[in-house]
Structures are given as structure tokens and as C-alpha cells.
Amino acid sequence: MSSTTNDLESEIEKLSAIAPGAPLPGGARSVVDKLLEALERGQVRAAERDATGDWLAVAWVKKGILLGFRVGAMVDMSPQLAPHGDGFHFFDKDTYPPRRLSLSDGVRVVPGGSSIRRGAYVASGVVCMPPMYINVGAHVGTGTMIDSHALVGSCAQVGKRVHLSAAAQLGGVLEPVNASPVVVEDDVIVGGNCGIYEGTVVRKGAVIGAGVVLTRGTPVYDLVRETVHRAASGRPLVVPENAVVVPGARGVNSDWARAQGIALQTPVIVKYRDEKTDAATALESWLR
């Protein structure tokens, strides 16, 4: 960590310690601006991997993002679409407007209602299909495609060459500040209408089939290794590397439930990636 980053961390910790409702010093907004700029450049992140490969929240960064809401003022962000006030109307904290991009950023934002909030890192080579949304503190790696109606929630971490299919949702985690981040590592395919929430970590190369929902409380049944992947105390649910996960069901173990034919939805690992899977999920470089 650079000395500049250490200084920024120290400033944010001091400001965050000021009691709610108490006035903040005049330089607080400048500190927030520095943090948001560092996030957009990828110099700091809201979550990082430790030496063992586990993903951990960077609490001081999340405190700084929350500080941005505290120092911000509500403003009218409505576009001037018509002389008589017709059209869409938006009101939000002035610290978190939509992020301004330029051609030099190398990010394709296809016209049609997409938005990237200030304080999000979006690498060159990312493709954004309309409408989609990337929230503050998120980190999206190069070569990733975010399809229509997909959401990258606050502080979610998305690797390189990921495909978030239409209507896929990555939950945001801003509070509590030490909560595990939602992480999708490199080369993952997330199918349409998937939901990945509550600090779930999807390891690299995994394929999450359409309609799968993963949360910290979701058991994932592994038919290949004949085990159940669960979140442990203080640890997130982790989907193994190269796992192919599809929607499944398990019966409810009571006489009445069995008599009614009741089953609960559960994700199931049916295989691990092979050449056939790679061929079926290959990303098209021409689109990027």
C-alpha cells in the first residue's frame, strides 16, 4: 500500500469516527473525492484477496463510500429533455452522480439507458448493453460484458472476461462495512436471471446456469464430488473453480411434505468444465 493510500485511509478513519449528526470538517468532501477517484482508477478496491486466496472486505474503503453519502447534498440530476419539465426526473446525493466516461476509457456503453455510478472501476474493454447499472465501489475487469438489465451492486467485484447475462443480479454490500463482498472471478459465465447475493464468491471458470440463485444461506449440492458446499461461520459460500451449476431441487424431509410432493429449490453442480463446456460458453472476441 502506498503512502498516499495510507494517508487516505487515516483521513477516512478519523472522519468516520465523528459521531452521526456532528459537523464534519470542511475538508471531508475533498477526502471523499480522492477516494472515489482512486476507486475509479483501480488504485484501491472495496475488497481484496489475502495471501490464502480468500476475499476480504476493505472496511476503510467502504467507510469512505458511506462518508460520501453523509457529506453529499441532495440535488436535482434530471436531464434537460424538454422546456416544460417533461421526461425523467432524478434526485440524489451530489457526491454520487453518474460517472463521466470518455472515448479514452475504452469502455463501450451502448445507447439505451445504462448508467455507471461515480466511484466504480470499469476497465478498458468492458461492454455495457442497455439498460444496465454499475454501482459505487464495484470493480469490473477487462473483457467483461454486462448484458441488458444486469446489475453490478455496490462494492461487487467482477473479474476479467466475465459474461453477466441478461437480468443477472450481483448484490451490493455496503453495510455492515466488514460484510463479505460479492465476488465473481475471471472467466465466469453467469446465466440469465441469476442472482448472486450476500457475499457469495464464484471462483474462476465457473458456469452459473440460467435461473440459479446463490446466497450465503444456500447449500450447493455437488454431484461430482458428492459433497455439499456451504457458508461457514464468518466465511462466505464459495462455488468451486470450473463448477457448472444448474437449478435443482431437494425434497423436504417430513411426512406431510413428502405426501404433498414439496421440494426446495437448490443449486446443483452437475459437472466441472471440460472441452464441451468451453465450446458452448466461448466468448466471441468480435463483440469486444
Residue 256, pLDDT above cutoff 70: yes
pLDDT one-digit tens code per residue, 123-169: 999 999 999 999 999 999 999 999 999 999 999 999 999 999 999 99
Cell of 141: 475487469
Based on the fold, state whether residues 133 and 56 are members of the same structural domain.
no
Residue 181, pLDDT above cutoff 90: no
Determine, yes or no, domain membership for 267: yes
Residue with cell 459465465: 189
Which pLDDT value is given to residue 49? 94
Determine, yes or no, domain membership for 98: no
Which pLDDT value is given to residue 85? 57
Which pLDDT value is given to residue 285? 73
Determine, yes or no, domain membership for 256: yes
Which pLDDT value is given to residue 277? 85
Cell of 167: 437480468
d(CA 63, CA 181): 14
d(CA 106, CA 260): 55
Residue 113, pLDDT above cutoff 70: yes
Determine, yes or no, domain membership for 260: yes
Burial 121-151 (b: 16+ CB within 10 A, else e): bbbebbbbbeebbbbbbbbbbbbbbbbbbbb
Mean pLDDT across 199-225: 96
Mean of the per-residue pLDDT values for the chain?
A: 93
Cell of 38: 482512486
Residue 82, pLDDT above cutoff 60: no
Domain CATH number, residue 121? 2.160.10.10
Cα-Cα-Cα-Cα dihedral of 74, 31, 56, 154, to 10°? Answer: 20
Out of 20, 55, 75, a domain closes at 75
d(CA 224, CA 280): 20
The answer to whether the bond into 97 is cis (omega within 30° of 0) is no
d(CA 3, CA 174): 25
Which pLDDT value is given to residue 16? 96
Based on the fold, state whether residues 163 and 247 are members of the same structural domain.
yes
- Percentages (nearest 5) of helix, strand, coil residues in the chain: 20, 25, 55
If one counts the domains in the chain, the total is 2
Range of the domain at 22: 3-75
pLDDT band at 272 (very low <50, low <70, confident <90, very high): very high
Which pLDDT value is given to residue 218? 94
Per the CB < 8 A criterion, the answer to whether 130 and 112 are in contact is: yes
Based on the fold, state whether residues 126 and 264 are members of the same structural domain.
yes
pLDDT one-digit tens code per residue, 46-57: 999 999 999 999
Mean pLDDT across 27-34: 97
Out of 51, 75, 99, a domain closes at 75
Which pLDDT value is given to residue 163? 97
Mean pLDDT across 62-84: 88
Based on the fold, state whether residues 136 and 224 are members of the same structural domain.
yes
Of residues 198 and 34, more confidently modeled: 34
Q: pTM (2 decimals)?
A: 0.93
Based on the fold, state whether residues 71 and 135 are members of the same structural domain.
no
Domain CATH number, residue 9? 1.10.166.10
Residue with cell 463482498: 181
